[in-house]
């Protein structure tokens, strides 16, 4: 008789939680410790951040970030050109079935939200205001990135790979998503999961610079989330890259400014 496939698939999230929820106390010299945040300030913080985000093009010349902007735009354009060639592979393979079950959209969505929530709960239990601040900043980062993602999804209305007809063209996906609107954000570009995952990873990594292993764990988990969006045929690689770039830049240059 063929061996039965195990019904339980190990998921790395519990290990990630253990690594993140027991950090040492941060010093006042930490680079991301300056911004003060509390629950009443979260909504005003998001509104202030949105103004900072959408006025970014006006600050590019003053802040001299042409190189970073050009590199991101160029790499995104290259990935968009490659999307029709690499995306069909993931539609036609079962090699990632186990990975996809572990990193399903629902699992990664709740895991990303659970990290800041758990950090805040442990911060309360330990009476650690710095940890509570980190959790709130991560939550604000997710909210900031979600707003930007929804707007871009509505503006581009890109089809998801799984929604392309079997005989359809992966090159003609922009402004094709039916039923897409600004609030639902059903479009494919950029990936909301990748944006949120990299937002949380950036806040936590920057807030605890003494843990040299932490960026590897945080960004490794975020990268796994991003890859799952491609292996599940939920997004194109260019969607994931742009989501990662947005999550990182919004957290580092807006939330932690």
Spatial distance between the Cα atoms of 15 and 215, rounded to a whole number of angstroms: 14
Q: Where are the domains of the chain?
A: 36-163+174-255
Q: For residue 248, is pLDDT > 60?
A: yes
Q: What is the mean pLDDT of residues 113-117?
A: 91
Q: Which residue has the higher pLDDT, 243 or 20?
A: 243
DSSP classification of residue 170: T
Q: Is 103 helix (H, G, I), strand (E, B) or coil?
A: coil
Q: Which residue has the higher pLDDT, 257 or 71?
A: 71
Which residues make Cβ contacts (< 8 Å) with residue 231, sequence separation at least 6? 90, 96, 99, 100, 103
Distance of CA 144 to the CA centre of its chain: 11
Residue 18 is predicted with a pLDDT of: 45
For the chain, give percent helix, strand, coil, nearest 5. 65, 0, 35
Q: Which of 154, 231, 164, 161 is nearest to 186 (CA)?
A: 154
Q: What is the mean pLDDT of residues 17-29?
A: 45
| Residue 17 burial class via C-beta count within 10 angstroms: exposed 0-12, middle 13-18, buried 19 and up | middle
Residue 1 is predicted with a pLDDT of: 45
pLDDT tens digit sequence for 171-187: 888 988 776 555 555 78
Residue 51 is predicted with a pLDDT of: 93
Q: For residue 146, is pLDDT > 80?
A: yes
Q: For residue 71, is pLDDT > 60?
A: yes
């Amino acid at each position: 008789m063929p061996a039965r496939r195990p019904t339980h698939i190990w998921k790395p999230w519990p290990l990630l939680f253990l690594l993140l929820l027991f950090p040492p106390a941060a010093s006042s010299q930490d680079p991301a410790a300056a911004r003060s945040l509390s629950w009443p300030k979260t909504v005003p913080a998001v509104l202030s951040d949105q103004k900072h985000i959408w006025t970014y093009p006006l600050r590019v010349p003053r802040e001299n970030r042409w190189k970073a902007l050009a590199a991101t735009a160029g790499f995104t354009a290259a990935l968009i050109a490659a999307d029709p060639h690499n995306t069909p592979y993931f539609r036609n393979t079962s090699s990632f079935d186990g990975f996809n079950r572990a990193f399903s959209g629902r699992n990664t969505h709740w895991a990303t939200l659970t990290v800041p929530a758990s950090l805040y709960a442990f911060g309360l239990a330990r009476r650690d205001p710095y940890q509570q601040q980190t959790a709130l900043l991560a939550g604000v980062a997710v909210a900031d990135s979600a707003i930007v993602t929804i707007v871009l999804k509505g503006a581009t209305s890109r089809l998801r790979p799984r929604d392309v007809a079997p005989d359809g063209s992966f090159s003609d996906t922009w402004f094709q998503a039916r039923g897409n609107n600004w609030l639902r954000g059903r479009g494919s570009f950029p990936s909301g999961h990748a944006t949120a995952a990299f937002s949380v990873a950036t806040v936590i990594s920057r807030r605890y610079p003494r843990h040299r292993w932490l960026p590897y764990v945080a960004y490794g988990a975020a990268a796994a989330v991003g890859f799952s969006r491609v292996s599940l045929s939920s997004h194109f690689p260019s969607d994931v890259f742009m989501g990662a770039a947005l999550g990182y830049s919004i957290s580092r240059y807006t939330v932690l400014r």
